[in-house]
Structure 1
């Protein structure tokens, strides 16, 4: 039977009422199925169903097709559609003018200096940047990590408060000109006069001295990647970078330079020794925000506006956003949309759902604006966004500022600009327009489809636009016109895309065509001249190579590191390419990080599920894997062959997210627990037919952990209700409560027995580890309380001999304790390396290796043979986001990890064997084109020859 249509909640809003009227029309037609309607309407069943969903305004064409399939009056519905579209556009404009004015959130745009009072959560990162002693600092971060906001609303106000002169700008297509405009304003002279000063690398140093005098100046260049994406003049790029480095590094300089750029442009820095010299001491990384930082970013701005955020919404947002790269623009946008939909002074879960959720709000906003446009305006929107994006060659697509002179004056363009600007998807000023944030490029499926379909066309158009700019910048000199094959290709493209050209591009092409006809002899002279120039360039290249020979190894090391990281990201889509890239990077410049990259691309197997993997465990015989996820299910897998896991069955008993799964010591029973506040015991003697044996009830909030005692006769559970419960399960069908420990003030996350069953470790949202003597199960007694972490403690694990306890927490460190005498725990060592909170820790069966899992997308192995002198063995990345589960097989040969992307990976713990057999996974050899893309300038040397 077809799935029933989702119930429409009539809330009185125009869009929902429109959908209700469409459904009523369908009902009057006898409620034909959407599949039958599709045959008449020539649109898919899902498109017609979406039209009546009330989530967005369908296009006019889809609306009329829906009406036609139901024998409705098309003229009447066309008038109804236009009236609603006008109403929604008017409502959007009103929202922009009224609701957004005093909003505590900024949406897609970056926080600016004027927003410093409502910029929260990044205090630690701002302090790290401001406190750096290096005078040239590079801030790296993924797109959407909040780099611009950190610089503009955090760093600039912090320096201004200490009376330092700050200059903030983005490079654009001509960074030297941009920089000169700012200095001209400071000096009260013309820009031309400042440009005349740029004779050598010390130009900027001299300008700083003229402006700042005895005061320190801070030059902040945001979106520094524009130097590589928008500035096509390599000479200007090199001069600008050299001038920045000289201004910062000249002895006695009073200038500091801060550069903010996307991390995928890290490798570009290796081509410039001035930037290379600043690494790694001058490098700062804007990583994902911690849970506490996210909470401040969500709650504090609302508090300033005398509003509150529902605790359930805060928890939901933190859960979805924590550890996700590039999520901050989505978070900021959805908070703004929830603010618009607030209930009185409360930001609610209902408003969050109406906005479309964290991942859907931005796409919904963009789609609502687009579908509200007339058909000819929609085509203009496609052309406009094509100009607003710079298609990527290696790194992902980037936004591009569109100068007002490039906009043109097509009828309807003003309405398109106003609609997207009112929704804060575009930002516009007197000089031009740009996309508010690159997150829109990733989040809006329609825009992604446009870019995919038109990529080569857009690249050709960008080259035409840049050539037009250059032609006009030199007074329309004929030497800047297109010639030969490039002109022919551009004219052919223009003939098919005439509507996309601006008047100035038309003029440029016409001038190029005319010059081509009359310029035969000039062309031959130009070829001769280019030959000379090429010879000079070759000579210069040889000289430059000799001069930079000492930097070659450093550049290779950086390139190898970047490729190794890219290889891990590629594994999902192209595992054979990923393996070869990682192996080639390791051979180019062997290091711990490139070695990590190789093993991360070589899992024994990958299991992909639809939801977050919350926990995993392996049966005592090593043949069965249990995984739990947010879809309220537990799955059992046959991993007898770890390279070919096979799903055995699925347990559907729980009603909410399952947070823990554990096999009993004899392997006959499985315990599950989670957000429905109950613990379930399953008889898994027959793995294909698990039977629910009993349900343990008593916790009043989420049960976060459930662990068996070594003898299997007791189960301990810990929950958010601040209690630990000991259950006598000698008879699993009739469990009884042996004891309840309720002396805690914080939510509990984990409780675990020592290998001898005499000691219980309990941890949670406080910074201490508590140890209890549970020799008498009915009378547990606390014997030690150890303050060990800065913040909550997520989990513990005893070594197999019971002498060492490992603890992990939100402070990103792992601590080892000597618990030979549980009454007097002693610190052994502190392990550092993870960049986000650590969620899980487990000793290997032989006690010589420790595995940890964290929010920084890694699982790490540590050599703990000597717990006082621990060394890191490997850091696995692979296809996971936040890693929330890690467990060894009983023989210690396999490590299983699970993460927020619904991925379970089985890894071989014999690292040398893994690397030695890397090429066994390769069937298609790395091509020369692929090699040149990732290792430009290096001779073709595939690591796995065919």
Structure 2
């Protein structure tokens, strides 16, 4: 239809000015103001953004396309598609490059030649320069101390320096534009390389060698030799050895490393030492440093920057959930600069670019959408080819030879240059790579591509690497595929024919030919072997033994590697992780495999639902808990049978007209309400969950409806919308629902609404930071009550406890606030929960109201104990989602938590976990009752008493209060009713735990002059010993625990006594061992027989039996443990070792019979199993090790357990021997099932879905047939 020549015509639009002119003409013809347009478009808060479009100050960004189309509709545009074409035409017409200097680098890093434009890192550059000069003994100006110029072949010094930081923290730019430029300015010789460039390490004395992106040693080499991980280790070791030699020869070697590869680096002892002694962390920029990075390049280029833009950037950079925000900020500034129309850098230009979170995605998406369908497919395959998808680390970019790109030719060249023009790709003479890894997480489309076919990508990547290795090894037939691996590769090739390179095709054909040849030879050989069977019998025995040895060695190596894969997958794919760990254990009982199986019992487990194809926004359980509803932006609502929460079964899929953002069941579970982006609320009859049927569509809102909530009686429905209103609907008759009230007065869109359990109060939250409370006792005439003030940014969610006494609210100020709403007209703040690193978007209370779950933009869900809202405990952190956690919902029994995320997954977490959370500080002491029922965990000022054998999982019974500082020691009396604790407040306290729910304080002893470090009861129960940092051990008789009798003070060492233990000896009576800072173990005889509890008072210091001294530990002793038979004493050290002393011939003839090494830091816990066969040790390195110690000549580690987030502070065996308890600086206690058979059965009961043949082929070699472990 032709338009009036005098009217607005999108066909006339050629540039931004024309766009603004025609759009304004359209608005004026409709007779609307800008504010009216915004109001009618359903986004009144966006009137300034929309105003910029009419004024020519900005164009709609890709993210605002939907809003732009609504604006066109409101203004009466006859042909919306023609206007959209015009808008895209103008966007394409913008210059991709501007003339003159470029003040910002975008995703590209800074090189040394860009030093003049590198701002914000002056202090860190100076610190790094100082660290380099301190290593080689030169001054900062390049001279030796005393003024001699650095030169010659034999300068003093040299060494290794580690620069570590998160991806995107700016390490490469710091090293190149900061350190390299500063060193060259001072005349120093500097070489920069990366591992992937295969450099020859030949640094001379006095030279500085910078190895950037050191993580490539773990990714590039993995691709070159992925068939057997052991085969890449020599290559890695040789490279590291070359660096170490260069450092030893006088060069300074500076290594830049991504923080998430830190654990890989620690495998190399020389680098581990450098990490401890020569490390410069690259943390986030301060606010002033960010300001410099934003403003100074523009100022140098002669550009103005709006003050409002600077403040907006500082606020958004500080709020970003990723520690590596710098490349996103840099690209946003670069894109804003490209948008400059002569006005400088403005908020409008920044918003048009898409902002920090959206600029990278907007640039990539814009280019992608401009491509033809054929070239879009090329782009998808290109980017997947440029990402290293890893099973044991984060995904990383990979540098690829141009000759190895899929579908080379003019079309691919065009795609490459389109993305390179926006600095999203970097093209060298013969290689291609993604410019920065920030793109991997910032571009949702790429993340979706990676997530959609991860197993196939892993399989394809290994297939390509194996084919290349086969070619490199000159077609070695032993490298060819067979069995399950060959079948998986053939299937992959059929599904991805365009990704099969000629080398891969040759490899596949050769594998097939070899299998056919071997089959023919097998039949031919059988006949010959029949004739030779007698002659071959003897030789066969020998060969069989050799073969078994080779197979065993191969299985052990594969078991270790597979266990590593399992641990790496634990957060993202718990089911596959657990099954791979079990497969590793079934293959060979290596310490790594057994550790993987046992570790699965001490980390929260989640069952993943992966049916949604877009961000999952909502989760809701029916009141009976049998059905779970999930919903998302893929326009579906899905119903699941979760009677067995570990094996959810799909029941039905309901198609919605648009993305679904909220779901809620009526209290009787028969009606489901959903809401979403189409401005409507829909009611569904789900009485038959297999056949949901629509009942009604509720219309009236003019923007997306973010939340729906039923009142407790099921008669009212509340809706909260981005249109700045909340609605109350009478749904007594769901088929004839009617809106009976509208709540207004908000200046921004609403984000949630929740009813109180008594149905008389409604709480709403909104983006204006307000929490409003309404009296809806008369729902047709709601009455406003006092608002809740305290949040300093947008409030996104709210939840009531089941008794209505407590309300929780959360928002973008990263806090959860707790309110006492027993008297809604007099609300009272009672607590604040902090810990999330970004906005809180969802909240839910468990039945009972003591536990609160939260979901956040920081990609975690957290479970909080709010029994005492004023003093909330540290939460259990549930990690695994790859993006925002939009929804949390408890099952009615409180045993499961469902979470939904932007990563499209829904996870059902089993909260009957062996992780005991809720402590308010690091756990520093543990004690288990003799019957194995109770566990006491001590932290700052308090100790928690847990029932660890309760049928539904461990439950807290009570909290001990009285200490005024950290509780560093705890021990149970042999009778199990009396507990002793010691702390940094210099006291020892006795507690009556006859009723563990109501513990009673009995006595306080304050004899020590420094911290109490250890307490122990004698085996008869009448003696109590307490050790102290003052170098003494006090002994008390506690026959009457209300009135302990002090007997004596033992001493004689130099420095703190950190560990004590009683030893029962048939020949020497009852001994007390003590050790500490001086590294000496002393044993005093405190009774003549092991069963006597009467100590000599005081011991005769001249008596030769008092004390015996054991020397042989290297450094301070941190813990002592005694075997149940009293014959072995374990002394754990600050050096990470444990020594076993044989006391069979008495303490004076004790000797070290074994030294246990392997921990990388101090050992902080040691305990023997009740049968004495196993010793458990915990360390500041974060690991727990289980050692078989029944034969001192063959002491070996049988399992390494991991799961704590940080250091292990304390450890104890649970009597009965099936579990070890550990306490960590992560504030949790973890119960580790040390029975591998029991742990394996638990894995098979929980893990779902089962491992698939494709997953099996991606992780195991081709000659192992598919054999699911469960």
Tell me whether 1:807 sits opposite 2:803 in the alignment.
no
The question of 1:109 aligning with 2:108 is answered: yes
1: CA distance between counterparts of 2:676 and 2:462? 43
- In structure 1, how many angstroms separate the alpha carbons of the residues matched to 2:417 and 2:292? 29
- Per-residue CA deviation, residues 686-739 of structure 1 (Å, 9 max, x unaligned), is 456543221111122233444434432233444444555443322211223345
| Structure-2 change in CA distance of 1:274 and 1:135 (3 Å) | closer
Q: How does 1:350-749 map to 2 (within 5 A)?
A: 359-365=361-367, 368=370, 389=386, 398-400=397-399, 402=401, 421-428=420-427, 434-437=433-436, 558-568=564-574, 580-581=579-580, 588-590=595-597, 596=603, 598-601=605-608, 607-610=630-633, 620=667, 632=679, 634=681, 651-687=698-734, 690-721=737-768, 723-739=770-786
TM-score, reference length from structure 1: 0.55
Q: CA offset at residue 562 of structure 1?
A: 0.3
Distance (Å, rounded) in 2 between the aligned partners of 1:609 and 1:390: 27
- Return the alpha-carbon distance in structure 2 between the equivalents of residues 164 and 112 of structure 1: 18
Greater helix proportion: 1
The yes-or-no answer on 1:171 pairing with 2:171 is no
Q: 1 CA distance for matches of 2:633 and 2:126?
A: 37
Tell me the TM-score normalised to structure 2 length.
0.43
1:173-230: CA deviation from partner (whole Å, max 9, x where unpaired): 45441x43xx3xxx5xxxxxxxxxxxxxxxxxxx4xx336xxxx87544552454257
Shift of 1:236: 4.0
How many residue pairs get matched? 717
Q: Cα deviation per residue 1:622-653 (whole Å; 9 max; x = unaligned)?
A: 66666655565556678889999998776554
Q: Which residue of 1 aligns with 2:257?
A: 260
Q: Aligned residue for 1:237?
A: 236
Contact 1:751 1:763 in 2 (8 A): yes
Q: Does 1:228 align with 2:217?
A: no
> Is the Cα contact below 8 Å between 1:893 and 1:909 reproduced in 2?
yes
Instruction: Report if aligned partners of 2:705, 2:719 keep a CA contact under 8 Å in 1.
Output: yes
State the Cα deviation string for residues 133-167 of structure 1 (Å, max 9, x = none): 9977585767xx55655754798589979999896
After TM superposition, give the deviation of residue 553 of structure 1 in Å. 11
For 1:700 and 1:340, the matched residues in 2 are separated by 33
Distance in 2 between residues matched to 1:164 and 1:633, nearest whole Å: 69
Aligned to 1:875: 878
Cα–Cα, structure 1 residues 907 and 773, in superposed 2: closer, same or farther, change >3 Å? closer
Deviations along 1:597-639, whole A, 9 cap, x unmatched?
Answer: 7434479867342168766666555666666555655566788
Q: Deviations over 1:494-524 (max 9, x none)?
A: xx99xx999xxxxxxxxxxxxxxxxxxxxxx
Is contact 1:425-1:435 (8 Å) kept? yes
Q: Distance in 1 between matches of 2:240 and 2:910?
A: 45
Provide the rounded CA distance (Å) in 2 between the counterparts of 1:677 and 1:904: 29
Question: Structure 1 717/927 Cα, relative in aligned 2: closer, same or farther at 3 Å?
Answer: closer
Secondary structure of 2:568's aligned partner: helix
| Aligned residue in 1 for 2:340 | 342
| Residue pair 1:391, 1:397 contacting (<8 A) in 2 also | yes
Distance 1:763 1:425, change over 3 A: closer
Specify whether residues 437 and 682 from structure 1 end up closer, same or farther in structure 2 by C-alpha distance, changes over 3 A only. Answer: same
Cα offset, 1:759, TM superposition: 8.1
Is 2:769–2:794's contact at 8 Å kept on the other side of the alignment?
Answer: yes
- Segments of 5+ residues of structure 1 without an aligned counterpart are 1-6, 21-53, 57-83, 188-206, 471-479, 488-492, 503-534, 569-575, 785-804, 813-834
The correspondence for 2:889, drawn from 884, 887, 890, is 887
Residue aligning to 1:204:
none
Q: Deviations over 1:112-134 (max 9, x none)?
A: 46369667799999999999999
Query: What secondary structure is seen at the aligned counterpart in 1 of 2:194?
Result: coil
Residues 907/107 of structure 1: CA separation in 2 closer, same or farther (3 Å cut): same
Equivalent residues in 2 for 1:48-447, closer than 5 Å:
95-96=96-97, 98=99, 101-104=101-104, 106-112=105-111, 114=114, 137=162, 139=164, 145=168, 152=175, 156=179, 169-173=192-196, 175-177=198-200, 179-180=201-202, 183=203, 187=204, 207=205, 210-211=206-207, 220-222=212-214, 224=216, 225=218, 227-228=220-221, 235-244=234-243, 257-261=254-258, 305-308=303-306, 323=321, 333=331, 336-343=334-341, 344-347=343-346, 359-365=361-367, 368=370, 389=386, 398-400=397-399, 402=401, 421-428=420-427, 434-437=433-436
Partner of 1:476: none
Cα distance in structure 2, aligned partners of 1:943 and 1:135: 45
| Alpha-carbon contact 2:660-2:674 (below 8 Å) kept | yes
How far is 1:676 from its partner?
A: 1.6
Q: 1:892 to 1:297 in 2, by over 3 A?
A: farther
| 2-structure distance, mates of 1:270, 1:630 | 49
Q: How far apart are residue 411 of structure 1 and its match?
A: 10
Q: Corresponding residue for 2:1229?
A: none
Q: Does 1:852 align with 2:865?
A: no
Residue 14 of structure 2 corresponds to 12
Equivalent-residue separation in structure 2 for 1:302 and 1:901 (angstroms): 36
Change (3 A) 1:484 1:136: same
Secondary structure of 1:96 counterpart: coil
Q: Is the 8 A contact 2:600 2:1243 kept in 1?
A: no
- Structure with bigger strand share is 2
Contact 1:627 1:636 in 2 (8 A): yes
Are the equivalent residues in 1 in contact too, given 2:165–2:171 (CA < 8 A)? no
Q: CA deviation at 1:400?
A: 1.9
C-alpha separation in 2, matches of 1:386 and 1:744: 42
Offset, 1:678:
1.0
Cα distance change, pair 767–693 in 1 and its aligned pair in 2 (3 A): same
- Cα distance in 1 for partners of 2:667, 2:447 equals 50
Task: Rate the CA distance shift 1:839–1:135 in 2: closer, same or farther, 3 A.
Answer: farther
Partner Cα distance (2:694, 2:565) in 1: 40
User: 1:840, 1:125 → 2: CA distance?
Assistant: 41
Cα distance in structure 1, aligned partners of 2:400 and 2:594 = 40
Q: Do 1:752 and 1:761's aligned partners in 2 also have CA atoms closer than 8 Å?
A: yes
Deviation at 1:95, TM superposition (A): 3.9
Distance 1:126 1:590 in 2: 47
* Structure 1 CA distance for aligned equivalents of residues 820 and 91 of structure 2: 66
Counterparts in 2 of 1:345 and 1:632: CA distance versus 1, 3 Å:
farther
